[in-house]
Copies of this chain bind each other. A is one copy, B any other.
Amino acid sequence: MSISMYSASVPVFTRMLGHLLQWLDKAEAHAQAKKFDTSVYLAARLAPDMLPFTKQIQIACDAAKFGVARLAGVESPKFDDNETSLADLRERIRKTVDFISSVPAAAIDGSEEKDIVVPRRDGNIVLKGEFYLKHYVQPNFYFHVTTAYGLLRHNGVGLGKGDFLGALS
């Protein structure tokens, strides 16, 4: 018995992306209560040279999408990075969940030693599937999801650890 590559990827990302959708609901309710436009969130940054909220969501989705596609060796759907509203971001998250949920477990299981080609700014690198998932995709995914959470908290949205971790029973 041990953790399968599938169970360490798709269900982990699907679960957190579901939580992210719920944070967006709370963000929308907060904006309504405070009477500001939800588009204010989209440009929010924690530092002037960090990526804004919209990009954090896009990259969190892409971390999951490309991670799953590369492990499975399937083509990933192309998303245009043209979201301009919370509704658009919700749609991006849903499309991501739809795609990764469509990949069969059998396509991902057994990819531990598979060579994964990862495009980087300074050229391609090749990582083994298990290293790629544990030390690249997962931390990258959590980085952008957590930064999105931090941006909402920084802008007054009432989220707590329970919203981050989700249901535990």
A111 to B147, CA, bound (A): 31
A140 within 8 A of B: yes
**Chain A 118-169 interface residues, beta-carbon cutoff 8 Å to B:** 118, 120, 125, 127, 130, 133-136, 138-140, 142-143, 146-147, 149-150, 153-154, 156, 161, 164-166, 168-169
Q: Which of A7-15, A31-39, A85-93, A95-103 contacts the other chain?
A: A7-15
Closest 4 CB pairs of A and B: A142-B142, A146-B146, A2-B2, A3-B3
15 contacts between A and B (CB under 8 A): A3-B4, A3-B134, A12-B134, A16-B139, A46-B153, A47-B154, A50-B153, A118-B168, A125-B169, A138-B142, A142-B142, A142-B143, A143-B146, A146-B147, A150-B150
